[in-house]
Amino acid sequence: MSAPSSGGASRDGYGSALLKLSNDPRVVVLEADLGKSTKSCLFRAEFPERTVSMGIAEQNMMLVSAGMASSGKIPFASTFAIFTERAFEQVRNGIARPGLVVHICGSHGGIHTGTDGSSAQSIEDLAIYRTIPNMTVMHPCDDLSAEELTLQLLNHEKPSYTRTARNKVPRIYNEENVKEIKIGKGNIIKEGVDVAIIACGVMVNEAKIAAEKLENDGINACVVDMHTIKPLDGKLIDKLAEQCGCFVTVEDHSIIGGLGGSIAEYLSRNKPTPVEMVGVDDRFGESGGTTELMAHLNINSDAIINAANAVIKRK
């Protein structure tokens, strides 16, 4: 299945990448009764013999993946982001600690998932996986970048967690320029000198919208797609600290421990620079339409504009 031309959800990119990875016989796919949602169903339809259905049992899925990785396979295991969290200790002790290369995908991350309500809205996944030694943590912004980054995992020698989103968003990349992105390297979407807006996932689009509006007010903002939260692209942050002198971090995630947390940690240790964080402010989500929920929780382009104006004053 090809991704829709008008834009697509990052989960679609994950699904299409799995199909492209099928050429490598080591690649196996594990799912926990949510293959239709995470889009691993695309692989399952074509390669049932290399798809392992684990039922609704995420802890078992993580360790079965680890066992397969120790036996020469490259497992891609997916479920909802929130349900990977149920198996956090399994990921920590069974996958990352022995350094087994298992690639976990948590779909439907963040409050963007909307009406299902807070039980389904993972807002702490990036933070918890970031604490595990050896883990790579990613959150791509559209279907094309999700596909590209997932394809790059084939030759990635560390276990990884990739959060994808349920909803379609306008594409940030096109078929050509998406090939320039690399795991571990932030990507400048728009150059600017007054403030650096660092975003991940669905919020990259909001950051782009905010930057366009700021331009009308005479503020030249730089926008970065920081699709890899760990390892963090410190070189780029160093450069932007010099270039812009202040930061706004933007994520559909708790402001504690995720993208904003990691950038604040980096800057406080290397080059103290004013930071404002746009994200879920230490509370759970709730049911609601995506747009109204983002406004309600103050994590949309308007919130980014306010944060940018505030942080520029702190320079």
Q: Which residues of this chain interact with other proteins, rule CB under 8 A? A: 28, 49-50, 52-55, 57, 59-60, 62-73, 75, 89-90, 93-94, 97-99
**Nearest by Cα to 112 from 201, 24, 188:** 201
- Smallest separation, CB 55 to other proteins (Å): 7
Structure tokens at 237: 């942050």
**Rounded to the nearest whole angstrom, what is the least distance from the CB of residue 87 to other proteins in the complex?**
9
Question: Dihedrals φ, ψ of 229, to 5°?
Answer: -85, -30
How far apart are CB 25 and other proteins at their closest, in Å?
9
The alpha carbon dihedral of 231, 232, 235, 236 has a sign of: positive
Amino acid, res. 192 = G
Q: Is 212 part of the annotated catalytic residue set?
A: no
Burial class from Cβ neighbours inside 10 Å (0-12, 13-18, 19+) for residue 114 reads: buried
Q: Could you give the CA distance from residue 304 to residue 211 in angstroms, rounded to a whole number?
A: 9
Sign of the torsion formed by the C-alpha atoms of 53, 56, 58 and 63:
negative
Q: How far is the CB of 68 from other proteins (least distance, A)?
A: 4
Tell me how far CA of residue 129 lies from CA of 36, 52, 133, 176, 235, in angstroms. Answer: 24, 24, 9, 31, 22
Smallest distance from the beta carbon of 93 to other proteins, in angstroms? Answer: 5
Between residues 52 and 189, which has the closer beta carbon with respect to other proteins? 52
Measured from the CB atom, is 53 or 119 closer to other proteins? 53
Nearer to other proteins, 60 or 220 (CB): 60
Q: Between 58 and 233, whose beta carbon lies closer to other proteins?
A: 58
**CB neighbour list of residue 71: distance below 8 Å, 6 or more residues apart:** none
Q: Which of 46, 49, 58, 175 is catalytic?
A: 58
User: Among 41, 37, 18, which Cα is nearest to 28's?
Assistant: 18
Which are the catalytic amino acids? 58
